[in-house]
Structure 1
């Protein structure tokens, strides 16, 4: 019986290893789509830091306006069909100055969700800004938000009204962070003070909800009283369209419904006050 020499065995082993390497390369190439993007990758192509650009446009276009008509939407999550219908309905109106999304752009904070939602929101005919919601924190979602939209707390001024947009998702930090950020609120009381006379606060989770740091809910109410002429507050999160007098002191909080319920709210701000309407689409 003929036996293999050591040279033959070594040669065959090298051929086997080479074959396996080539097969692995082919497999990885064929499965490129599978391994190309991690679901929580934070490297994005296309538009980033959207809010900064949108704010610049809003402030430039509406600096001297006597009235503002704003559409508030929220909690679009993964309801892409209804979100598209919501955007279409807003575009058909031709009377909206800008749109505010009150958070929960995604359901689980993944890259694909952020990208799909961004693509839909980009079809708006008017500028929009977006806040971060608690679902947007999942995984590396908060990092994605900062890449795509910017700071978690931000403000802008239009028609001499300051819109103060706050991150109130305290439980996403296990209450270990300054959320809501009182230092930021204090800064905004006087920042650009000569440019605004009235204030509107926008947040995702309202006081006394499961996401808010309710240990400071009373302090929050006292703190925001220092803002010049606080008109009202707007929030999302609870998936219902309501008007709440949360602190029983006359300050109204407008709850914005989710896109799945096919409802959003329009608030028109004028020199003499404001009015609001609930829109079913």
Structure 2
């Protein structure tokens, strides 16, 4: 994306993203204490699914993604979230299956201590016209996952934000349509979710819907605003969750958990 969007090239190079990715991995590896996991909130690679030539580039990018992330400390699990570049703006059964072959499930839950995390495929809420059954399956699964089964915090990750600044903002490319947005935000409110982390915007953004915060994090790679390449450090405490975005050159080595 840097090659096509910033350098005005043909999108055939991604060496700059790889260098930034390795810097991010090095920063995570040198943190103390070690992060409980490292999560990429979608668009794991830039190339969309499509023609055979697109798929060839996509396979090469996926291969390089995996090569680089092999350098992540083995004690730091890598969590992958499905984005629109990964399965297409209008995903198909084939594009979803190919994603799952490369990266695993497109939606799932996991626990760290007393915290339960939900990872969703937000493309189903943006455009499920070609995958209505998969969208329905995720909805049924989500309803069971939102039940309180002993978690102290319930946190959600997905790619496309419900909103960028306000829950009442107008529909656009970078958010979820307001009718779907309102329905889903109510479901999360009712379940007790307080934090939802997203990507997609290539800028830092976010806001509150009452006490529910939607956090939009900029990219390790291409920037579309004034932010610099970086990532967000999240600290989970007994009664609250705190977060801060750092440029890659400013990521702290020692994380204060007090």
Compare 204-213 and 174-183 and name the one that shifted more: 174-183
Q: Distance in 2 between matches of 1:278 and 1:166?
A: 22
Where do 1:194-209 residues align within 5 Å? 194=150, 196-208=151-163
1:36-56 CA-to-partner distances (Å, cap 9, x unmatched) read xxxxxxxxxxxxxxxxxxxxx
Q: Distance in 2 between matches of 1:222 and 1:77?
A: 42
Name 1:224's counterpart in structure 2.
Answer: 188
Retained in 2: the 8 A contact 1:161–1:197? yes
Task: Say how many residue pairs are matched.
Answer: 201
Q: What is the Cα deviation at residue 104 of structure 1?
A: 0.2
Q: 1:78 to 1:142 in 2, by over 3 A?
A: farther
Name 1:187's counterpart in structure 2.
Answer: 144
Retained in 2: the 8 A contact 1:77–1:104? no
Q: 1:172 to 1:189 in 2, by over 3 A?
A: closer
Q: What is the Cα deviation at residue 156 of structure 1?
A: 0.5
Retained in 2: the 8 A contact 1:166–1:180? no
Name 1:105's counterpart in structure 2.
Answer: 44
Structure with bigger helix share is 1
Retained in 2: the 8 A contact 1:265–1:276? yes
Retained in 2: the 8 A contact 1:154–1:164? yes
Name 2:212's counterpart in structure 1.
Answer: 251
> CA-atom RMSD, angstroms?
2.6
Q: Distance in 2 between matches of 1:162 and 1:176?
A: 27
1:60-105 CA-to-partner distances (Å, cap 9, x unmatched) read xxxxxxxxxxxxxxxx998212111111111122322211110100
> Alignment partner for residue 92 of structure 1, among 24, 30, 49?
30
SS of corresponding position for 2:60: helix
Q: Distance in 2 between matches of 1:163 and 1:235?
A: 13
Q: Which structure would you say has the larger Rg?
A: 1
Q: 1:270 to 1:149 in 2, by over 3 A?
A: same
Q: Distance in 2 between matches of 1:252 and 1:212?
A: 15
Q: What is the Cα deviation at residue 179 of structure 1?
A: 7.2
Q: Distance in 2 between matches of 1:265 and 1:199?
A: 18
Name 2:65's counterpart in structure 1.
Answer: 117
Q: What is the Cα deviation at residue 174 of structure 1?
A: 3.6
> Alignment partner for residue 276 of structure 1, among 226, 243, 258?
243
Structure 1 unmatched ranges of 5 or more: 1-75
Q: Distance in 1 between matches of 2:245 and 2:19?
A: 20
Name 1:52's counterpart in structure 2.
Answer: none
> Alignment partner for residue 169 of structure 1, among 123, 147, 150?
123
SS of corresponding position for 1:252: strand
Retained in 2: the 8 A contact 1:154–1:166? yes
Q: Distance in 2 between matches of 1:213 and 1:77?
A: 35
> Alignment partner for residue 142 of structure 1, among 80, 93, 96?
96
Q: 1:252 to 1:77 in 2, by over 3 A?
A: farther
Q: Distance in 2 between matches of 1:114 and 1:200?
A: 27
